């Protein structure tokens, strides 16, 4: 399984992708919010989104799966 994980604890502010969408390396996929700062999470490689594991408003910890792709 390939996936994008959270690099910090925070709240999912915005989900920018949906299943079936192509993602290029460097594209932002989720925006996390922590201490009133918005932090984008980017894809580390290209692929197609298979599943979005979070919804807006969810709290995530560092290392939690955000997006799975193939």
pLDDT tens, position by position, 40-53:
999 999 999 999 99
Return the CATH number at 51: 2.40.50.100
By C-alpha distance, which of 28, 1, 34, 2 is closest to 15? 28
Give the span between the Cα atoms of 53 and 64, in whole angstroms.
9
For residue 13, what are the domain limits? 2-69
Q: What is the number of domains present in the chain?
A: 1
What was the pLDDT predicted at 70?
Answer: 87
What was the pLDDT predicted at 10?
Answer: 97
Q: Residue 14: pLDDT above 90?
A: yes
**C-alpha distances in angstroms, 9 versus 1, 27, 51?**
22, 20, 20
Beta bridge partners of 7: none
What was the pLDDT predicted at 13?
Answer: 98
What was the pLDDT predicted at 30?
Answer: 98
The torsion defined by the Cα of 11, 42, 64 and 1, in degrees rounded to 10, comes to 150
């Amino acid at each position: 399984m390939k996936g994008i994980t959270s690099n910090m604890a925070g709240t999912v502010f915005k989900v920018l992708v949906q299943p079936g969408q192509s993602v290029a390396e460097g594209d932002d996929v989720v925006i996390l919010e922590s201490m009133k700062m918005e932090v984008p999470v980017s894809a580390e490689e290209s692929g197609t989104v298979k599943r979005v594991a979070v919804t807006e408003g969810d709290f995530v910890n560092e290392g939690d799966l955000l997006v799975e792709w193939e």
